[in-house]
Amino acid sequence: MRFAIFGNTSRDKFCGHEQQFFNLLRSLGDGISVDRPYYEFLTRTMGLEIPCDTLFDGSDFTADAVISVGGDGTFLRTATRVADKGIPMVGINTGRLGFLADITTDRITDAITRIHNGQYTLEERNLLQINMEGLPQGHTPYALNDIAILKHDISSMIQVATSVGGTQMITYQADGLVVATPTGSTAYSLSVGGPIIAPGTNVICLTPVAPHSLTMRPLVLPANETIRLDVTSRSHSFLVSIDGKSFSCPEHTAIEISRAPFKISVMKPAKGDFFATLREKMLWGTDSRK
């Protein structure tokens, strides 16, 4: 197989298994292409001798599979660079939680060998797309987890007039609004009271952040709906966060959020159990009294 490798370039995410991982790929006879900043981090900063066939920059790569080495943040950033290429992804976790990048360092050899031998399944994940004027350079319009509309730290709550499918639905008075995919339902949305949604469920979830009224509850919509937002704020500006990467916008900037026209394929080298992952990673259902 031909692998394109992305990774976190922080010393804090260096796990010490990177040399073993690259040597394994070479011993299996797989093609190795590496994102240039990650290769330079491993060779120049960490002093490793990394076998590599080619280096690439940006999204200028082709491969049979993409491997993200880092935490969930690295996986999300990698997903935006894979975008509509249709290349399946897998994540090796060198971070803390590892909900998306779920291959732990002690399972690298087994997982990569299984992928090399074609012993894996694919899970398709929806992405969100934001359409708006003034999207800053360097920001992708696609989100695997969520798109959040938020107040500035020092401002009072914002008003988010929300229409769905062309029909005015509600004006949220809150600190913000999180629009999440099922993948993102266990991220920011969950932390502000949103529901857990199983992967593969074809929906979008709207979760208000610190709403002014108790009647403003999370709402689950069909994934084919288009959501239009008009934001007003006492500070005359607000934040847009796309998978955690944020920028400022003037109020009344027209925002449209919909399902992206493509999906991301996530490789699972072992039989996955979403609910077992919830119990293991997030202590879901755990009784602290025991």
Q: Which domains does the chain have, with CATH numbers?
A: 2-120+269-282 (3.40.50.10330), 128-261 (2.60.200.30)
Inter-residue contact 4 to 67 (CB < 8 Å): yes
**226-283: pLDDT as tens digits:** 999 999 999 999 999 999 999 999 999 999 999 999 999 999 887 667 777 778 777 7
Outline where DSSP puts E strands in 8-64.
31-35, 54-56
41, two tokens: 């981090």
Cα–Cα dist 13/102, whole Å? 15
pLDDT tens readout for residues 180-213: 999 999 999 999 999 999 988 999 999 999 999 8
Q: What is the mean pLDDT of residues 1-14?
A: 92
**pLDDT beyond 70 at 290:** no
Q: What is the value of pTM for the model shown?
A: 0.88
Structure tokens at 11: 């010393």
Nearest to 227 by CA among 170, 158, 175: 170
Give the H/E segment covering residue 282.
helix 274-282
3-state secondary structure of 186: helix
10-47 pLDDT, tens digit per residue, is 988 888 899 999 999 999 999 999 999 999 999 999 99
Backbone dihedral angles phi then psi of residue 216, each to the nearest 5 degrees: -90, 95
The pLDDT of 57-74, averaged and rounded, is 93
Residues with a catalytic annotation lie at 72
- The per-residue pLDDT for 124 is 93
